[in-house]
Each structure stands twice: as structure tokens, then as C-alpha cells.
């Protein structure tokens, strides 16, 4: 029998949470930064979903584009997701060298505010487009918000690896991730509360204000990053890192650790894409009305965010602090393998929903924070260039590949889709195991040599 009353357990967890803020001053700014970043994204996400799910193709695509495909005998509405995923991948290919040039030629104090300043400026542009009803604004916004979500979050985690050591990352990344999850709750609430009163265009301004707070947090966190680099004799992030514009992709091709990390991300994207597309296909036949489908999807998002927050606050920190990143990388793979095994035999809508919740929650609460701690032990080029390449071009390459794979497999039924998903989940778990072997060869915080990987 416990010697402490049960109500002391939550109190103890709250005390540890408060103690974390006391012992790590940058944690509060990191918490606020990620909260505002994901709040700003989730304020706009319902607008994206409304555009992507519209049955009126002219609300999504410009008339000229619809006509271009119609002249060639293609109904663009039948390939909405495939077109969007392909366009996003091509945009990523164009932006990757631009981003590489920016982080190579300018110091951190310049390129981080510039990236967020660009997103704020484009939000003001979308305010004008939606306010005046410009044709094709739906597609432009869908493409923009997808790029924004990937680049802004990738830059965030790269910056966190400048601020925190590996030990600190294991202790605090769960809490920082929880801030983002709370933001994911607050963003849709803001939209639901305000959109009827102020309209969709004004939600662009709400998001812009939240991103402006992110810039303030970046400026406050810079000094902690500088102090950590000085203590460890690392190359200052306040100086341009130099190197090649396409160094990120070249590093991924050359370094085994980055190759396994990229493969794990691509296979994880494959699982999510197959599950997401099949879930939508099943929902169209399982629910009679759009209202029933909307209720199903909203319940799903609420369940994902709730489970993610619980795991981030109660499990992630303790798991990674005590056992390292291995359980956080391997447990999600085992759970997904079990889930897809069940779905291969019985693809019921509720079972699909349960597996979707477990898959997404385990990615956000365990796998993502665990992967990001690896970047605290490598150099700046690995963090800002290779990390961004994996989270943007390679990530969207996986999306593009598997959205077409689903189109092919769907013709053979749900069992074929989930059977393929089971194989992909097994391959992802194997890549996580190989990634852990490579990660074990990295120098420890105290043993790390100065030089290329200490930058």
C-alpha cells in the first residue's frame, strides 16, 4: 500500500512541472513559442479542411486549371489529393535550395526571423485574397499552409537543438511537445469562436499575431543558445554556417544515421497516408451525411490530441530520461504493427479510428520528440540543413509516393491496403532499430569532439 494519499500523485506531477520551469529558464519561452506556433497553424487548419473537402471544385481550383485538365479529358475533382500532394512536393523541391542558401549565408539571428517574417507577410496577402474573393485562393492557401506547417515546425526543432543539451532535451521535449498539443486544442476553439463574427479573412490576422509572438520568443531564446554554444566551445550560431546550398540532401545521402532517420520518417508518412486515405474512403460509405462524417472526424481529432497530451505530460519525460530514446521509437512501431494486423482482418470504421488515434498520438508524443533529441548531438548543418530536408522534401516525397500507392491498392479493397500497411509498419520498426544502432555511435555530450559535428 502506498504511504502517500492518492491525491498527492497529481500534486507531485504538478510540482515536477513547475520545477522544470524553475530549473530551465528557456523552457517557458520554448513552451510559449511552440504553443503560439501550433495555435497559429490550427487556427487556419479548419479553413484548409473546408477548402480541401469542398464538393465545389471551383472553390478550390482556378477556372483556368480546371479547363486545362478538362481539355485533356481529366476530371480534376477525381484527383484533388493527388494533385495537391504532387504540387506540394514540387514546391518543396524549389524551396529547399532557397532555404539552404538562406541558412548558409546568414546567421541564426537573421534567418529565423526572416522565415517567420515571410510567413507573416504571406498571411497578410491571404487576408487580402480572401477578403476580395480572388479566384483560386483555395488551392493557393492549401499549398501555402502545408509548406508553412513543415518548414515552421522543422525550424522550431532545429532551434531547440541549439538551446538544449541532449540530457535537457530528454527531460523537457515532452513538456515542449505538450505546449504544441495545447495549442492544437486552442487554435480550433479560437476559429470556432471567432469565425462567425469576424469571417475567414480575419482568421489570417489572428494567426499572424500568434506568429509575431513566435518571433519575440526567438529573440528571447537566442541568448540561451549563444550561452550553451559558448560553454561547449561550439561554433556560434550567430555566424553564417556556410557550406553548400544542397548540403542537407547530400548529408542524408552520405550519412548512415541520417539515411535511417529519413527512411523511418518516409515509412511513417506512408503508414499515416494509407490510413488517412482509407479512413476517408471508409467514412464516405459508413456515414450517410456530411454532418455525420464531420462529427466522426472531430471526435477523432479530439481523441488524438487528448491522448497525445496525456502521454506528453505523464510518460514522455520519464521514459526518455530513464531509458533514452529507444522505447519512444520502438513502442509506436509495435503498436502500429498490432493495429494494422487487426485491420487487415477486420477493417471496421471504429477499429480504423482507434488505430488512427494510436498512430498519430504515438508519433506526436513519443517518436517525434525522440527523433528530435538526436539533433542535439550533431552539428548545425545536420540540424538546420539535413533536418529540414528530411522534414520537408523527403517527407513530402513520401506523401506523394504513398498517396498514389493508396490509389493503386484501394482497387483491391481495404484488406490489401492494411496488409501493405502492416509490411510498411514492420519496415519502419526495423529502420528505427537501425537508427538506434547508429545513434549509439554518436559521441556523448561530454565526449563530443569539437569540429564539424560540434558546430
Phi, psi dihedral angles at 158 (to 5 degrees): -60, -45
Whether the CB-CB separation of 434 and 427 falls below 8 Å is answered with no
What pLDDT tens digit does each residue of the chain (455 aa) get? 444 444 444 556 666 667 776 778 899 999 999 999 999 988 887 777 666 655 566 667 777 888 888 887 877 777 777 787 788 888 888 877 877 777 777 776 777 888 899 899 999 998 988 888 776 777 888 888 878 877 788 888 888 888 888 888 888 888 898 899 999 888 888 887 887 788 878 888 999 999 999 999 999 998 888 887 777 666 555 565 655 657 778 888 889 999 999 999 999 989 988 888 777 777 667 666 555 665 666 677 778 888 988 898 888 888 988 888 999 999 999 999 998 898 888 777 778 888 888 998 898 889 988 998 888 888 878 887 888 788 888 888 888 888 888 888 888 888 888 899 899 999 999 999 999 999 988 876 444 444 434 44
Residue identified by cell 451525411 is 289
C-alpha cell at position 54? 469542398
pLDDT at position 6 is 47
Determine how many CB atoms are found less than 10 A away from the CB of residue 1. Answer: 2
Q: Residue 273: which residues within 8 A CB-CB, separation 6 or more? A: 398, 399, 402, 403, 405, 406
Residue identified by cell 533529441 is 373
Which of the 8 DSSP states describes residue 447?
T
C-alpha cell at position 428? 519502419
Residue identified by cell 469571417 is 199
Residue identified by cell 527531460 is 171
Whether the CB-CB separation of 390 and 265 falls below 8 Å is answered with yes
pLDDT at position 241 is 61
Whether the CB-CB separation of 57 and 66 falls below 8 Å is answered with yes
Q: Residue 128: which residues within 8 A CB-CB, separation 6 or more? A: 201
C-alpha cell at position 393? 522534401
**What are the residue boundaries of the structural domains of the chain, listed by start?**
22-454
Whether the CB-CB separation of 321 and 170 falls below 8 Å is answered with yes
Give CA–CA dist 268/252, Å, rounded. Answer: 17
Helix (H, G, I), strand (E, B) or coil at 200: helix
Q: Residue 268: which residues within 8 A CB-CB, separation 6 or more? A: 363, 367, 428
pLDDT at position 454 is 42
C-alpha cell at position 327? 522505447
Give CA–CA dist 392/41, Å, rounded. Answer: 16
Whether the CB-CB separation of 370 and 320 falls below 8 Å is answered with yes
pLDDT at position 450 is 42
pLDDT at position 452 is 39
Strands of 260-417, DSSP E: none
Phi, psi dihedral angles at 354 (to 5 degrees): -65, -45
pLDDT at position 234 is 60
Distances (CA, A) of 450 to 38, 142, 232, 237, 299: 35, 43, 9, 14, 50
Residue identified by cell 510518460 is 315
Strands of 351-455, DSSP E: none
Distances (CA, A) of 44 to 91, 150, 184, 189: 20, 14, 11, 11
Tell me the CATH class for 22-454.
Answer: mainly alpha
Which of the 8 DSSP states describes residue 211?
H
pLDDT at position 216 is 94
Give CA–CA dist 286/409, Å, rounded. Answer: 19
pTM for this entry: 0.75
pLDDT at position 295 is 61
The burial class, CB within 10 Å (0-12 / 13-18 / 19+), for 101 is middle
Amino acid at each position: 500500500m502506498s504511504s502517500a494519499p492518492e491525491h498527492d500523485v497529481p500534486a507531485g506531477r504538478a510540482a515536477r512541472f513547475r520545477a522544470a520551469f524553475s530549473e530551465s529558464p528557456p523552457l517557458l519561452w520554448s513552451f510559449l513559442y511552440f504553443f503560439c506556433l501550433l495555435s497559429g497553424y490550427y487556427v487556419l487548419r479548419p479553413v484548409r479542411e473546408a477548402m480541401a473537402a469542398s464538393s465545389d471544385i471551383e472553390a478550390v481550383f482556378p477556372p483556368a486549371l480546371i479547363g486545362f485538365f478538362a481539355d485533356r479529358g481529366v476530371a480534376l475533382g477525381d484527383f484533388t489529393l493527388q494533385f495537391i500532394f504532387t504540387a506540394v512536393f514540387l514546391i518543396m523541391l524549389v524551396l529547399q535550395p532557397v532555404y539552404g542558401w538562406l541558412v548558409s549565408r546568414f546567421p541564426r539571428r537573421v534567418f529565423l526571423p526572416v522565415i517567420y517574417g515571410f510567413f507573416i507577410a504571406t498571411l497578410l496577402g491571404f487576408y487580402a485574397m480572401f477578403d476580395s474573393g480572388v479566384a483560386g485562393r483555395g488551392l493557393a492557401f492549401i499549398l501555402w499552409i502545408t509548406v508553412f506547417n513543415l518548414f515552421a515546425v522543422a525550424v522550431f526543432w532545429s532551434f531547440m537543438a541549439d538551446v538544449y543539451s541532449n540530457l535537457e532535451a530528454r527531460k523537457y521535449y515532452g513538456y515542449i511537445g505538450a505546449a504544441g498539443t495545447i495549442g492544437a486544442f486552442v487554435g480550433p476553439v479560437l476559429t470556432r469562436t471567432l469565425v462567425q463574427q469576424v469571417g475567414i479573412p480575419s482568421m489570417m490576422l489572428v494567426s499572424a499575431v500568434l506568429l509575431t509572438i513566435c518571433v519575440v520568443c526567438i529573440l528571447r531564446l537566442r541568448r540561451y543558445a549563444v550561452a550553451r554554444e559558448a560553454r561547449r566551445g561550439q561554433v556560434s550560431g550567430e555566424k553564417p554556417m556556410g557550406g553548400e546550398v544542397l548540403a542537407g540532401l547530400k548529408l542524408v545521402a552520405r550519412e548512415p544515421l541520417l539515411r535511417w532517420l529519413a527512411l523511418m520518417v518516409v515509412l511513417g508518412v506512408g503508414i499515416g497516408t494509407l490510413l488517412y486515405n482509407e479512413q476517408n474512403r471508409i467514412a464516405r460509405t459508413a456515414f450517410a451525411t456530411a454532418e455525420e462524417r464531420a462529427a466522426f472526424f472531430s471526435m477523432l481529432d479530439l481523441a488524438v490530441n487528448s491522448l497525445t497530451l496525456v502521454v506528453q505530460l505523464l510518460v514522455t519525460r520519464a521514459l526518455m530520461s530513464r531509458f533514452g530514446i529507444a522505447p519512444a521509437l520502438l513502442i509506436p512501431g509495435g503498436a502500429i504493427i498490432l493495429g494494422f494486423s487487426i485491420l487487415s482482418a477486420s477493417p471496421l470504421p471504429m477499429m480504423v479510428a482507434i488505430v488512427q488515434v494510436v498512430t498519430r498520438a504515438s508519433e506526436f508524443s513519443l517518436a517525434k520528440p525522440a527523433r528530435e533529441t538526436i539533433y542535439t548531438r550533431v552539428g548545425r548543418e545536420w540540424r538546420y540543413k539535413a533536418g529540414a530536408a528530411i522534414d520537408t522534401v523527403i517527407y513530402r516525397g513520401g506523401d506523394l509516393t504513398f498517396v498514389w500507392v493508396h490509389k493503386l491498392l484501394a482497387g483491391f479493397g481495404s484488406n490489401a491496403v492494411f496488409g501493405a500497411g502492416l509490411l510498411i509498419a514492420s519496415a519502419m520498426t526495423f529502420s528505427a532499430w537501425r537508427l538506434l544502432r547508429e545513434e549509439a555511435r554518436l559521441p556523448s555530450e561530454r565526449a563530443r569532439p569539437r569540429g564539424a559535428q560540434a558546430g
